[in-house]
Amino acid sequence: ETGVTQTPRHLVMGMTNKKSLKCEQHLGHNAMYWYKQSAKKPLELMFVYNFKEQTENNSVPSRFSPECPNSSHLFLHLHTLQPEDSALYLCASSQDYYEQYFGPGTRLTVT
Amino acid sequence: GEDVEQSLFLSVREGDSSVINCTYTDSSSTYLYWYKQEPGAGLQLLTYIFSNMDMKQDQRLTVLLNKKDKHLSLRIADTQTGDSAIYFCAENGVNRDDKIIFGKGTRLHILP
Protein backbone atom coordinates (compact mmCIF):
# COMPACT_ATOMS: atom_id res chain seq x y z
CA GLU A 1 0.00 0.00 0.00
CA THR A 2 1.20 3.46 -0.78
CA GLY A 3 0.06 6.94 0.17
CA VAL A 4 -2.99 7.34 2.38
CA THR A 5 -5.59 4.60 2.60
CA GLN A 6 -9.05 4.72 4.12
CA THR A 7 -11.51 1.99 5.02
CA PRO A 8 -14.30 1.43 4.47
CA ARG A 9 -14.85 3.31 1.22
CA HIS A 10 -18.61 3.32 1.71
CA LEU A 11 -20.62 3.06 4.92
CA VAL A 12 -24.34 3.13 5.59
CA MET A 13 -25.36 3.31 9.22
CA GLY A 14 -28.45 3.95 11.27
CA MET A 15 -28.63 6.77 13.78
CA THR A 16 -28.24 4.38 16.70
CA ASN A 17 -25.24 2.50 15.31
CA LYS A 18 -21.61 2.78 16.34
CA LYS A 19 -18.98 2.50 13.64
CA SER A 20 -15.39 3.54 13.04
CA LEU A 21 -13.52 4.93 10.07
CA LYS A 22 -9.89 4.01 9.64
CA CYS A 23 -7.06 5.88 7.99
CA GLU A 24 -3.49 4.74 7.48
CA GLN A 25 -0.63 6.69 5.97
CA HIS A 26 2.47 5.06 4.50
CA LEU A 27 4.40 8.29 3.91
CA GLY A 28 6.25 8.65 7.20
CA HIS A 29 4.40 11.88 7.98
CA ASN A 30 3.96 13.27 11.47
CA ALA A 31 0.57 14.99 11.12
CA MET A 32 -2.84 13.53 10.27
CA TYR A 33 -6.21 15.18 9.64
CA TRP A 34 -9.92 14.45 9.36
CA TYR A 35 -12.01 16.55 7.00
CA LYS A 36 -15.71 16.53 6.20
CA GLN A 37 -16.84 17.26 2.65
CA SER A 38 -20.54 17.93 2.12
CA ALA A 39 -22.30 18.92 -1.05
CA LYS A 40 -22.19 22.68 -1.68
CA LYS A 41 -20.05 23.40 1.39
CA PRO A 42 -16.35 24.09 1.67
CA LEU A 43 -14.06 21.39 2.96
CA GLU A 44 -14.37 21.42 6.75
CA LEU A 45 -11.37 20.61 8.91
CA MET A 46 -12.47 18.48 11.87
CA PHE A 47 -9.37 17.31 13.73
CA VAL A 48 -5.59 17.60 13.47
CA TYR A 49 -3.06 15.33 15.15
CA ASN A 50 0.66 15.96 15.31
CA PHE A 51 2.86 13.18 16.72
CA LYS A 52 -0.30 11.58 18.12
CA GLU A 53 -1.30 14.77 19.98
CA GLN A 54 -4.49 16.52 18.99
CA THR A 55 -3.71 20.10 17.98
CA GLU A 56 -7.03 21.12 16.50
CA ASN A 57 -10.63 20.32 17.27
CA ASN A 58 -12.74 22.50 15.08
CA SER A 59 -15.87 22.60 17.28
CA VAL A 60 -16.88 19.13 16.18
CA PRO A 61 -19.87 17.52 17.94
CA SER A 62 -18.97 14.86 20.49
CA ARG A 63 -20.70 12.16 18.44
CA PHE A 64 -17.45 12.20 16.44
CA SER A 65 -14.53 10.88 18.46
CA PRO A 66 -11.04 10.73 16.94
CA GLU A 67 -8.25 8.40 18.00
CA CYS A 68 -4.63 8.49 16.92
CA PRO A 69 -2.72 5.54 18.42
CA ASN A 70 0.46 6.31 16.44
CA SER A 71 1.68 8.59 13.67
CA SER A 72 0.54 6.20 10.94
CA HIS A 73 -3.01 5.46 12.03
CA LEU A 74 -6.04 7.63 12.62
CA PHE A 75 -9.56 6.57 13.50
CA LEU A 76 -12.86 8.39 13.62
CA HIS A 77 -15.37 6.73 15.92
CA LEU A 78 -18.98 7.49 15.13
CA HIS A 79 -22.03 7.10 17.37
CA THR A 80 -25.61 8.35 17.34
CA LEU A 81 -25.07 10.30 14.13
CA GLN A 82 -27.66 12.48 12.43
CA PRO A 83 -28.71 12.42 8.76
CA GLU A 84 -26.92 15.74 8.24
CA ASP A 85 -23.66 13.96 9.09
CA SER A 86 -23.90 12.14 5.76
CA ALA A 87 -20.86 13.27 3.78
CA LEU A 88 -17.50 12.25 2.37
CA TYR A 89 -14.97 11.97 5.20
CA LEU A 90 -11.43 12.55 4.07
CA CYS A 91 -8.24 11.73 5.87
CA ALA A 92 -4.98 13.48 5.07
CA SER A 93 -1.40 13.43 6.28
CA SER A 94 1.53 15.79 6.02
CA GLN A 95 5.02 16.42 7.28
CA ASP A 96 5.08 19.46 9.53
CA TYR A 97 1.64 20.65 8.36
CA TYR A 98 2.63 21.36 4.75
CA GLU A 99 1.62 19.57 1.55
CA GLN A 100 -1.26 17.50 2.77
CA TYR A 101 -1.85 14.21 1.00
CA PHE A 102 -5.38 12.89 1.00
CA GLY A 103 -6.91 9.45 1.09
CA PRO A 104 -9.79 8.45 -1.21
CA GLY A 105 -12.40 9.14 1.47
CA THR A 106 -15.24 7.25 3.10
CA ARG A 107 -18.70 8.00 1.75
CA LEU A 108 -20.93 7.92 4.82
CA THR A 109 -24.71 7.75 4.64
CA VAL A 110 -26.71 8.04 7.86
CA THR A 111 -30.26 6.69 7.61
CA GLY B 1 -11.14 35.38 9.39
CA GLU B 2 -9.05 33.99 6.59
CA ASP B 3 -10.88 33.24 3.38
CA VAL B 4 -10.18 31.72 -0.03
CA GLU B 5 -12.50 32.53 -2.93
CA GLN B 6 -12.78 30.93 -6.34
CA SER B 7 -15.44 30.79 -9.03
CA LEU B 8 -17.56 27.65 -8.93
CA PHE B 9 -17.62 26.68 -12.61
CA LEU B 10 -15.45 26.91 -15.70
CA SER B 11 -16.13 25.45 -19.17
CA VAL B 12 -13.27 25.06 -21.63
CA ARG B 13 -12.96 23.45 -25.03
CA GLU B 14 -10.71 20.45 -25.35
CA GLY B 15 -7.27 21.57 -26.51
CA ASP B 16 -7.65 25.12 -25.18
CA SER B 17 -5.98 26.47 -22.05
CA SER B 18 -7.91 26.56 -18.78
CA VAL B 19 -7.25 29.30 -16.26
CA ILE B 20 -8.66 28.86 -12.78
CA ASN B 21 -8.43 31.86 -10.49
CA CYS B 22 -8.36 32.22 -6.74
CA THR B 23 -8.12 35.10 -4.28
CA TYR B 24 -7.20 34.88 -0.62
CA THR B 25 -7.22 37.28 2.28
CA ASP B 26 -4.35 36.26 4.56
CA SER B 27 -1.28 38.34 3.75
CA SER B 28 0.87 35.99 5.86
CA SER B 29 0.19 33.00 3.59
CA THR B 30 3.34 30.95 3.16
CA TYR B 31 2.31 28.04 0.95
CA LEU B 32 -0.41 28.14 -1.71
CA TYR B 33 -1.74 24.94 -3.20
CA TRP B 34 -3.82 23.56 -6.01
CA TYR B 35 -5.64 20.30 -5.45
CA LYS B 36 -7.65 18.25 -7.94
CA GLN B 37 -10.62 16.08 -7.03
CA GLU B 38 -12.07 13.64 -9.52
CA PRO B 39 -15.54 12.13 -8.97
CA GLY B 40 -15.64 9.69 -6.08
CA ALA B 41 -12.03 10.34 -5.11
CA GLY B 42 -10.06 12.25 -2.52
CA LEU B 43 -8.06 15.40 -3.18
CA GLN B 44 -4.86 15.05 -5.15
CA LEU B 45 -2.11 17.61 -4.55
CA LEU B 46 -1.32 18.97 -8.02
CA THR B 47 1.21 21.64 -7.25
CA TYR B 48 2.11 24.32 -4.74
CA ILE B 49 4.02 27.57 -4.67
CA PHE B 50 5.89 29.37 -1.93
CA SER B 51 4.80 32.90 -1.21
CA ASN B 52 8.21 34.27 -2.22
CA MET B 53 7.76 32.97 -5.78
CA ASP B 54 5.86 34.54 -8.68
CA MET B 55 5.53 31.57 -10.95
CA LYS B 56 5.97 27.83 -11.01
CA GLN B 57 5.71 25.60 -14.06
CA ASP B 58 5.27 21.85 -14.07
CA GLN B 59 4.60 20.25 -17.46
CA ARG B 60 1.13 21.47 -18.54
CA LEU B 61 0.53 23.34 -15.29
CA THR B 62 1.56 26.93 -14.63
CA VAL B 63 0.90 28.62 -11.31
CA LEU B 64 1.02 32.39 -11.10
CA LEU B 65 1.06 34.28 -7.81
CA ASN B 66 0.38 37.99 -7.44
CA LYS B 67 1.11 38.55 -3.79
CA LYS B 68 0.22 42.22 -3.88
CA ASP B 69 -3.30 41.44 -5.10
CA LYS B 70 -3.46 38.11 -3.19
CA HIS B 71 -4.35 36.38 -6.43
CA LEU B 72 -3.38 32.86 -7.44
CA SER B 73 -4.08 31.22 -10.77
CA LEU B 74 -3.66 27.78 -12.28
CA ARG B 75 -3.26 27.47 -16.02
CA ILE B 76 -3.69 24.07 -17.64
CA ALA B 77 -2.32 24.02 -21.17
CA ASP B 78 -3.90 21.81 -23.86
CA THR B 79 -6.86 20.84 -21.66
CA GLN B 80 -7.85 17.19 -21.97
CA THR B 81 -11.00 15.31 -20.97
CA GLY B 82 -9.04 13.79 -18.10
CA ASP B 83 -8.66 17.27 -16.63
CA SER B 84 -12.38 17.36 -15.89
CA ALA B 85 -12.53 17.64 -12.10
CA ILE B 86 -12.99 20.06 -9.22
CA TYR B 87 -9.93 22.19 -8.52
CA PHE B 88 -9.35 23.55 -5.02
CA CYS B 89 -7.18 26.47 -4.14
CA ALA B 90 -5.76 26.38 -0.59
CA GLU B 91 -3.28 28.22 1.59
CA ASN B 92 -1.35 27.98 4.87
CA GLY B 93 -0.65 31.04 6.96
CA VAL B 94 2.50 31.39 9.04
CA ASN B 95 0.46 31.99 12.19
CA ARG B 96 -1.76 28.93 11.80
CA ASP B 97 0.55 26.24 10.51
CA ASP B 98 -1.79 23.38 11.27
CA LYS B 99 -4.75 24.72 9.34
CA ILE B 100 -4.95 24.89 5.57
CA ILE B 101 -7.85 27.01 4.32
CA PHE B 102 -9.55 25.64 1.21
CA GLY B 103 -11.69 27.40 -1.33
CA LYS B 104 -15.02 25.88 -2.35
CA GLY B 105 -13.57 24.48 -5.53
CA THR B 106 -13.96 25.24 -9.24
CA ARG B 107 -15.63 22.58 -11.35
CA LEU B 108 -13.86 22.38 -14.71
CA HIS B 109 -16.05 21.11 -17.52
CA ILE B 110 -14.44 20.13 -20.82
CA LEU B 111 -16.39 20.79 -24.00
CA PRO B 112 -15.74 18.52 -27.00
The pLDDT of residue A42 is 79
A101 and chain B: CB distance < 8 Å anywhere?
yes
Give the residue-averaged pLDDT of A10-24: 94
Chain A residue whose CA is closest to B45: A101
Q: Chains A, B: CB contacts under 8 A, how many?
A: 49
The pLDDT of residue A54 is 77
Give the residue-averaged pLDDT of A34-47: 88
Residue A21, pLDDT above cutoff 70: yes
pLDDT digits (tens, 9 = 90+) for B56-91: 999 999 999 999 999 999 999 999 999 999 999 999
Chain A residue whose CA is closest to B41: A104
Contacts for A8-13 with beta carbons within 8 Å, 24 or more apart?
A8/A106, A9/A104, A9/A105, A9/A106, A9/A107, A10/A106, A10/A107, A10/A109, A11/A106, A11/A107, A11/A108, A11/A109, A12/A108, A12/A109, A12/A110, A12/A111, A13/A78, A13/A81, A13/A108, A13/A109, A13/A110, A13/A111
pLDDT digits (tens, 9 = 90+) for B20-62: 999 998 878 788 999 999 988 899 999 999 989 999 999 999 9
Residue A15, pLDDT above cutoff 70: yes
Query: Where does the pLDDT of residue B107 fall: very low under 50, low under 70, confident under 90, or very high at 90 and above?
Result: very high
Write out chain B residues lying below 8 Å of A108, CB-based.
none
